[in-house]
Every structure is written in structure tokens, then in C-alpha cells.
């Protein structure tokens, strides 16, 4: 019977220790220190702590530190990955901004004779060229009309002169014919008188 009691006591202590270890695992380090201090005996100004409780607290502390280190390492890896992603995204953003700036620059500029020129300057140059061409056209139209008027006037005067000349020529021809007849008549008279 003592053997049964011993086995039962051993099982009770074993399972009790496991349950207590699980309970202490659920507590944080500060609560475990407080429990250790409360369950410790006093001796003068000192606390007497049972060694298994101290060992259990040490293991719990070491495990908690390992968990914290694991969490810190995991967080550092995650931070490094996120920093890498941030760097990649920043690089993409810088590239996109540079491309956007280039597109805006190209949009705001026009190549004029191979030189990049602002649109406003280009429009000013184009309007000045158009205005210059219009002025040259108006000048040539004016010169053409003036020359055309002078040509018409010269043709008109030429026609008048030709008509006057034709009239003069006809009169001169008639006069010459009349004088020629008169001369012939006089010659005929002189020849008749001589005979």
C-alpha cells in the first residue's frame, strides 16, 4: 500500500509540476519574479529561494529572451525586406518622376531647326514669319498693281501714239500721193509744153 501511495504521490507531484510549469509559462517574467519573492522564505534581511523555482525562473527568462530575440530578428528581417521594397519603390518613383519631367519638357518644347524651343517662343517666331510673309505678299501685290497700272497706262499711250502715228502716216502718204500727182501733172505739163 505504501508503494501505491508513493506512486500516487509521485504522479501527483509530476503532473502538478507540469501544470505549474504551464501556468508559469503563461505568466510574464515580472509576475514570475513577484511569485518567486512571495513564495520565498525570509531569513534575516535575505530571501531564501528554492533552487528549482529559481532554475525554472531562469529557464523561463532565457526562453522569453530567446523568443524576444527571435521576434527582434524576425522584425529586423521584415524591416530589411520592407526597406528593400521602399528603396525599390523609391527608385521606381524617381524614374517615373524623371520620365514625367522629360515628357513635360518635351511637351512644352518643340524642335525648331534642331534646337529645343519653348512653345511660346516657337509660336512667336512662327507668327513673326507669317506676318513677314504677309507683309512681303502685300508689298508684291502693291508693286504688281502699280506696275500693272503703269503697264496699262503705257499700253494706252502706245496705242494712242500708234493711232496718231497711223493717222500721221496716212496723212503723210496722202500728202505724198497728192504731191506726187501734182509733180507728175507738172511734169506732164512741162513735157506737153515742150512738145
pLDDT digits (tens, 9 = 90+) for 158-171: 999 999 999 999 99
What are the φ/ψ torsions at residue 51 (nearest 5 degrees)? -65, -40
Which neighbouring-strand residues pair with 48?
41
Each residue's pLDDT tens digit, 173-193: 999 999 999 988 888 888 888
Instruction: Show me where the domains of the chain are located.
Output: 27-112
DSSP 40: S
Q: What are phi and psi of 27, to 5 degrees?
A: -85, 155
**CA 98, chain centre distance (Å):** 7
pTM: predicted TM-score of the whole model, two decimal places? 0.41
Q: Residue 190 in contact with residue 182, Cβ under 8 Å?
A: no
Distance (Å, whole) CA 77 – CA 83: 10
Amino acid at each position: 500500500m505504501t508503494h501505491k501511495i508513493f506512486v500516487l504521490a509521485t504522479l501527483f507531484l509530476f503532473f502538478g509540476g507540469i501544470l505549474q510549469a504551464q501556468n508559469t509559462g503563461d505568466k510574464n517574467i515580472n509576475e514570475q519574479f513577484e511569485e518567486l519573492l512571495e513564495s520565498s522564505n525570509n531569513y534575516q534581511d535575505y530571501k531564501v529561494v528554492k533552487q528549482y523555482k529559481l532554475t525554472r525562473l531562469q529557464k523561463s527568462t532565457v526562453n522569453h529572451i530567446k523568443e524576444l530575440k527571435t521576434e527582434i530578428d524576425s522584425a529586423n528581417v521584415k524591416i530589411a525586406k520592407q526597406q528593400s521594397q521602399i528603396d525599390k519603390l523609391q527608385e521606381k518613383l524617381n524614374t517615373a518622376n524623371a520620365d514625367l519631367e522629360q515628357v513635360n519638357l518635351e511637351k512644352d518644347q518643340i524642335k525648331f531647326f534642331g534646337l529645343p524651343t519653348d512653345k511660346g517662343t516657337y509660336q512667336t517666331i512662327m507668327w513673326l514669319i507669317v506676318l513677314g510673309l504677309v507683309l512681303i505678299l502685300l508689298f508684291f501685290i502693291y508693286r504688281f498693281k502699280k506696275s500693272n497700272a503703269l503697264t496699262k497706262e503705257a499700253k494706252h499711250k502706245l496705242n494712242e501714239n500708234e493711232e496718231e502715228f497711223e493717222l500721221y502716216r496716212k496723212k503723210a502718204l496722202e500728202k505724198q500721193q497728192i504731191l506726187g500727182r501734182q509733180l507728175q501733172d507738172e511734169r506732164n505739163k512741162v513735157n506737153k509744153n515742150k512738145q
